[in-house]
C-alpha cells in the first residue's frame, strides 16, 4: 500500500495539527455529477452499480477528479447488510429502497443471522480493495455502514417511513424482539466494518440516519447502546496507523455529550447544531464533522463562501474539525457550487491553523 500523500483528514479526526481544515462531503459521488449519471445509466440500475466493484470504483473516484477533496468514501448503500440477510432489497423508481421480505413474524426475527461479509458482501470488500489501489495513496478511503437501529427501521418497515409506526410499535410492545434484531445488526455491522478495514478502509463512519426519530431515553436504549457495541468491537489500528471511527446521528444534537462518550473519534453534526457550541460541549473528547446546510449550495458562490467563513469562525482556531455538510448533497446541486465550497474551505481555513 502506498504512503498517504494527503493525510489531513485522518490527522484532523485524531485532533492532530493540520495546515488547513480538510473537507469531504456526504454523498459526494452522486446524482449531482453528470459523469455519475452516465455511469449509472450504463449500469442499468442502482443495485447493479453498487454490486460491480469496477463501477463502484469508477464513481468513487469521479468527485476526486473534479475537486481537491481530502478523502474518498466507498460508493455503496447502507442497506447492503439486510439485503445479504435475505430480505430482498430493490429500488422502486421515485420511491427509494424497499424490501420484498420485511421482518413481520417472530420466527423470521428469531431466525435472523449476521451474514459473513466476505461471502454475501464480498462485492463491497472487493470494491474497497480496488478503490484503495486506484487511489494510490492520494487521499484516505472511508468505509461505512448504517447503524444497527437505522438498518432495523428499514428491515421492519419494509422501506422508508415518516412515522416509523411498525418499529415503534415493536419498541413499546415487544422490546425483546427489537433487541434481538439490534443485537444481530450490531454483530453484522461490526464484522462488515472490520472487513472493510482489513481490505483497506482507513477510517469508517456509522450512519445513524433515523436515531433522531427516537424519544429521549429510547435513543440511548435502542440506538446509542448498539452503536457503542459496534465501536467497541472495531479494529482500531491497521498497518501501524490508527483507524478513526465517525458516528453521525441525524437529529442527534441533543445528545452530543453522550455520543462523544461511546469511544468514537469523530462526531458528525447535522446543520441544526451550532458548531462552536458543539465544540464547547464535547471539549477535546472527539473531533467534529460538519455541518453546512446542504441547501445552502443552491445559493450563489459568494453566499456559499460567506457560510463557510461563518462556520469556520464558529469552530475557531485549532485542529479537530472536518468540514462537511450536515447531510448528503442534493442531486439538484450545481457541480460548480461544490467546487466553490471546497475552494473556500481550503483557502479560508488556513487562518485558523
Report the catalytic residues: 27, 31, 40, 77, 154
Do residues 56 and 40 lie in contact, with contact meaning Cβ atoms separated by under 8 Å? no
206 phi/psi in degrees, rounded to 5: -105, 115
Do residues 222 and 178 lie in contact, with contact meaning Cβ atoms separated by under 8 Å? yes
Helix (H, G, I), strand (E, B) or coil at 141: strand
Which residue's C-alpha cell is 455529550?
Answer: 257
Helix (H, G, I), strand (E, B) or coil at 59: helix
Which residue's C-alpha cell is 459526494?
Answer: 28
Residues 98, 102, 108, CA angle at the centre, nearest 5°? Answer: 160
Q: Where are the alpha helices (DSSP H) in the chain?
A: 8-13, 34-43, 46-51, 53-66, 80-82, 106-110, 122-135, 148-157, 165-173, 175-199, 218-219, 225-233, 256-260, 275-282, 301-315, 335-349
Nearest to 352 by CA among 304, 317, 309: 317
325 phi/psi in degrees, rounded to 5: -85, 165
Q: How far apart are CA 181 and CA 194, in angstroms?
A: 20
DSSP assignment letter at 313? H
Helices and strands in the chain, H and E counts? 16, 11
Q: How far apart are CA 289 and CA 306, in angstroms?
A: 19
Amino acid at each position: 500500500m502506498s504512503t498517504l500523500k494527503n493525510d489531513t483528514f485522518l490527522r484532523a479526526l485524531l485532533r492532530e495539527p493540520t495546515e488547513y481544515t480538510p473537507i469531504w462531503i456526504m454523498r459526494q459521488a452522486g446524482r449531482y455529477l453528470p459523469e455519475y449519471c452516465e455511469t449509472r445509466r450504463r449500469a442499468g440500475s442502482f443495485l447493479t452499480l453498487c454490486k460491480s466493484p469496477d463501477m463502484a470504483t469508477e464513481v468513487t473516484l469521479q468527485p476526486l477528479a473534479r475537486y481537491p477533496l481530502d478523502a474518498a468514501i466507498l460508493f455503496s448503500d447502507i442497506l447492503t447488510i439486510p439485503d445479504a440477510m435475505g430480505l430482498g432489497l430493490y429500488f422502486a423508481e421515485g420511491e427509494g429502497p424497499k424490501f420484498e421480505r420485511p421482518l413481520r413474524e417472530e420466527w423470521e426475527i428469531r431466525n435472523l443471522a449476521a451474514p459473513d461479509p466476505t461471502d454475501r458482501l464480498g462485492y463491497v470488500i472487493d470494491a474497497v480493495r480496488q478503490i484503495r489501489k486506484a487511489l494510490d495513496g492520494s487521499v484516505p478511503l472511508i468505509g461505512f455502514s448504517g447503524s444497527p437501529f437505522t438498518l432495523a427501521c428499514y428491515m421492519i418497515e419494509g422501506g422508508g417511513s415518516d412515522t416509523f409506526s411498525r418499529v415503534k410499535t415493536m419498541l413499546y410492545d415487544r422490546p425483546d424482539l427489537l433487541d434481538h434484531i439490534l443485537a444481530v445488526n450490531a454483530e453484522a455491522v461490526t464484522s462488515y466494518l472490520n472487513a472493510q478495514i482489513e481490505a483497506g478502509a482507513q477510517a469508517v463512519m456509522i450512519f445513524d440516519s433515523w436515531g433522531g426519530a427516537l424519544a429521549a431515553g429510547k435513543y440511548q436504549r435502542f440506538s446509542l447502546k448498539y452503536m457503542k457495541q459496534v465501536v467497541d468491537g472495531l479494529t482500531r489500528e491497521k498497518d501501524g496507523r490508527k483507524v478513526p471511527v465517525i458516528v453521525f446521528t441525524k437529529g442527534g444534537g441533543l445528545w452530543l455529550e453522550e455520543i462523544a462518550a461511546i469511544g468514537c473519534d469523530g462526531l458528525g453534526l447535522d446543520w441544526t447544531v451550532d458548531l462552536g457550541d458543539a465544540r464547547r460541549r464535547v471539549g477535546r473528547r472527539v473531533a467534529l464533522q460538519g455541518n453546512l446546510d446542504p441547501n445552502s449550495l443552491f445559493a450563489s458562490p459568494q453566499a456559499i463562501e460567506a457560510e463557510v467563513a461563518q462556520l469556520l469562525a464558529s469552530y475557531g482556531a485549532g485542529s479537530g474539525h472536518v468540514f462537511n455538510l450536515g447531510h448528503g448533497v442534493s442531486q439538484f446541486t450545481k457541480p460548480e457550487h461544490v467546487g466553490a465550497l471546497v475552494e473556500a474551505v481550503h483557502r479560508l481555513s488556513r487562518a485558523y491553523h
